């Protein structure tokens, strides 16, 4: 699964924080998530996030592993012949957002996957834990990466992302050049 959620309330949530017993504790894992959003979507979220009532603090932990979010500018173009702005891609290897009892959000990150982790509340076989970190393997790989070490997967994904960005840039250059040629010769065909 790309998203796993777990909400704990009651005496069992006391291991996370004293406030979690009363208000609950939310643990969320986002793994291998890819999405594209328009900038207008983000700017229109503001009114929905405003609230006049101060909510109760719910301790939580949100873990984002290997996610990619692309932001596209959908505002009207100033110049009709302009190819438009280049989309912005935000790639996240491993980030943890924690909210403690004081209501403050803490952002931490890891540079490398040094150990495997297992989340018993996700579906069985989501990630497999083995004793030696160098031999950690995905239990159900989505793209045929069976047998790759977890340290190699982010490296290969970064390399793939770099190649995709170079290809997208070359395609945009090609479109821009064709547009420039068509300014002078509208009947030009490639």
Strands 34-38 and 88-99 come out as unpaired
3-state secondary structure of 67: strand
What span, in angstroms and rounded, lies between the C-alpha atoms of 126 and 2? 10
Query: Digits of tens for pLDDT over the chain (190 positions)?
Result: 688 999 999 999 999 989 999 999 999 999 999 999 898 887 887 776 676 676 788 999 999 999 999 999 888 887 778 777 889 999 989 999 999 998 888 999 875 544 344 444 444 443 443 333 333 333 334 444 444 456 677 888 888 888 988 898 888 888 888 888 888 888 877 7
Beta-carbon contacts of residue 68 (< 8 Å; ≥ 6 apart) = 33, 34, 35, 89, 90, 91, 92, 161
CA distances in angstroms from 115 to 46, 89, 158, listed in the order given: 38, 27, 20
Cα separation, 46 vs 41, in Å, equals 10
């Amino acid at each position: 699964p790309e998203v796993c959620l777990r909400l704990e309330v009651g005496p069992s949530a006391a291991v996370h924080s004293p406030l979690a017993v009363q208000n609950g504790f939310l643990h969320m894992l986002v793994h291998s998530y890819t999405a594209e959003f328009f900038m207008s979507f983000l700017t229109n979220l503001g009114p929905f996030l405003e609230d006049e009532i101060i909510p109760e603090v719910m301790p939580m932990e949100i873990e984002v592993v290997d996610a990619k979010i692309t932001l596209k500018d959908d505002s009207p173009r100033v110049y009709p012949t302009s190819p438009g702005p280049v989309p912005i891609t935000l790639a996240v290897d491993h980030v943890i957002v924690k909210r403690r009892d004081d209501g403050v959000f803490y952002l931490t990150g890891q540079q490398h996957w040094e150990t495997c982790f297992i989340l018993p509340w996700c579906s069985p076989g989501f990630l497999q834990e083995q004793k030696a970190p160098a031999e950690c393997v995905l239990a159900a790989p989505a793209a045929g990466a069976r047998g790759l070490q977890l340290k190699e997967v982010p490296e290969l994904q970064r390399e793939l992302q770099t190649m995709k960005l170079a290809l997208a840039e070359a395609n945009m250059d090609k479109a821009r050049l064709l547009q420039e040629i068509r300014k002078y010769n509208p009947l030009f065909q490639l």
